[in-house]
Amino acid sequence: MFRVGIPAPELRMLRRCAVSLPRAARSFKKVAAVAPVKKKGGGSRDQYGAIKQAILAEPDEELYLPKESLEEMEERKARMSRMSIREHFAQNVAMNAGVKLRKAALEALPGALREEARQPDLTPFPVLRRVFTETAPIPGFQAEVRRTDRG
């Protein structure tokens, strides 16, 4: 097959590169071909030729986004900061509303329960607690696990 402007040896090399290079490297503009290193007694193919060509290639301009001006960057940073502060204030409002609701619920309790509810719960968390699973327990499984753990 003959392509206009590309001699046959370069065309074969380009096909070989297109197959061996990753997809992102294929879109690079081609630079002058790197001369393959000749080995003594071996084949004339440079095993690193495609990698060298990918390293030396110039990237396409359309792959890079245009640089934004300093004013646009400052404006975007200020907008993100305002959004972050609004989100932080919204979280604080929700937390304060929860605290007010908790206090109102405590005040709605009868006197004896109110005093008991205000005491902190200092009981330790259970170490051997049951974990909920989506399947029913398998009879004898825990005994089998313990038996195999002992050796």
Sorted by where each begins, the domain ranges of the chain are 8-60, 67-118
Contact yes or no for 37/45 (Cβ under 8 A): no
Question: Between residues 36 and 145, which one has the greater pLDDT?
Answer: 145
What's the whole-number mean pLDDT along residues 19-26?
50
Which pLDDT score is estimated for 36? 57
Predicted confidence (pLDDT) per residue in 49-104, tens digit: 899 998 998 877 777 766 778 888 899 999 999 999 999 999 999 999 999 999 99
Helix (H) or strand (E) holding 74: helix 70-108
pTM metric for this prediction: 0.37
What's the whole-number mean pLDDT along residues 94-121?
94
CA dist., res. 75 & res. 66, Å (int): 17
Q: State the amino acid at position 17 in one-letter form.
A: C
Residue ranges in 6-69 assigned as alpha helix (H) = 8-20, 23-26, 49-56
What's the whole-number mean pLDDT along residues 23-47?
60
Residue 35 in this model has a pLDDT that exceeds 70: no
DSSP string, 88-141: HHHHHHHHHHHHHHHHHHHHHS-HHHHHHHHS---PPPPSSPPPP-SSPPPTTH
Residue 150 in this model has a pLDDT that exceeds 70: yes
CA dist., res. 134 & res. 138, Å (int): 12
What's the whole-number mean pLDDT along residues 11-37?
55
CA dist., res. 16 & res. 37, Å (int): 17
Q: State the amino acid at position 12 in one-letter form.
A: R
Structure tokens belonging to residue 124: 């330790």
